[in-house]
Amino acid sequence: MNYKNLSDTMTLNNGVNIPCIGFGTWQVENGDTAYQAVREAIAAGYRHIDTASGYGNEESVGRAVRDSGVPRDELFITSKLPNNMHGYEETMESFEQTMKNLGLDVLDLYLIHWPAPVKYRDNWEAVNAETWRAFEELYRAGRIRSIGLSNFMPHHIEALLKTATIKPMVNQIKLCPGETQDKVVEVSRRHDILLEAYSPLGTGKIFSVEAMQDLAAKYNKSIAQIALRWSLQRGYLPLPKSVTPERIRANGDVFDFELNDADMDLITNLTGCCGEAADPDKVPF
């Protein structure tokens, strides 16, 4: 790992390059807030923007991308399938709505947001197989450059691979100090599926952790920068979110230092400090 800036990339299992840090937009309100945050992120050097149908802000994200002045082929845009639109036909319909919302012709990455939403919980495996069939068709048609998963646990991944003809390229899960989801990370990596880390700052919980405060002082960096550097050194692709211009810029400034092995282990073992990932088989949506 020798990333030098926000434009440096990791390589997916299909050969597509993906910028090593993404700008997350979960809980960023549609309208001016999302538009300005994405414009600020792109101006700060981010080239990877992550949204979802379920976030309700695809329109503002798309408008910011189009207005940024950065050539489209220099930007990597991700969105995700909503929980109430799984299955072949529904996936096709929802994808077209996402593309209309974003105002894009091609999407760089499309993810199944959750593997077993309440609507499909009784037959999630069969429904995911049909959803993935639509994903593969869109991928082969060139509408999507890469396809993947989010919140998939080992049994969801293995079930999907029974019928998949194209291997997922990404699994986006909660990964933050103290929440490393070792089993799903191991299974994803065994199948050459890149791990993306959402909530890499523990939805703000990380800032009250004394050990992280001490490390920030030791390295003369912010707590967020320490957490994001840890994520990169673990081989994850972190997706920090902020709507504050100074923090957006600071979160991208993690390429001029390295955490030593002892401090990496200390952060990894901060068990429970940022809360546990939700169980995708029990979420109430």
Report the domain count for the chain.
1
SS3 labels along the chain? CCCCCCCCEEECCCCCEEECCCEECCCCCCCHHHHHHHHHHHHCCCCEEECCHHHCCHHHHHHHHHHCCCCHHHCEEEEEECCCCCCHHHHHHHHHHHHHHHCCCCECEEEECCCCCHHHHHHHHHHHHHHHHHHHHHHHCCCECCEEEECCCHHHHHHHHCCCCCCCCEEEEECECCECCHHHHHHHHHCCCEEEEECCCHHHHHHHCHHHHHHHHHHCCCHHHHHHHHHHHCCCEECCCCCCHHHHHHHCCCCCCCCCHHHHHHHHCCCCCCCCCCCCCCCCC
Is 275 within a domain?
no
- Which residue segment(s) compose the domain that 15 sits in? 9-268
Catalytic residue among 55, 110, 120, 198: 55
Is 276 within a domain?
no
- Residue 204: what pLDDT? 87
Is 2 within a domain?
no
Is 258 within a domain?
yes
- pTM score, whole prediction: 0.97
Active site residue 55: yes
- Residue 272: what pLDDT? 84
- Residue 153: what pLDDT? 98
- Residue 271: what pLDDT? 86
Is 273 within a domain?
no
Print pLDDT tens along the chain (285 aa). 689 999 999 999 999 999 999 999 999 999 999 999 999 999 999 999 999 999 999 999 999 999 999 999 999 999 999 999 999 999 999 999 999 999 999 999 999 999 999 999 999 999 999 999 999 999 999 999 999 999 999 999 999 999 999 999 999 999 999 999 999 999 999 999 999 999 999 988 999 999 999 999 999 999 999 999 999 999 999 999 999 999 999 999 999 999 999 999 999 999 888 889 999 999 999
- Residue 259: what pLDDT? 98
Is 61 within a domain?
yes
Is 193 within a domain?
yes
Is 198 within a domain?
yes
CATH of the domain at 253: 3.20.20.100
- Residue 2: what pLDDT? 86
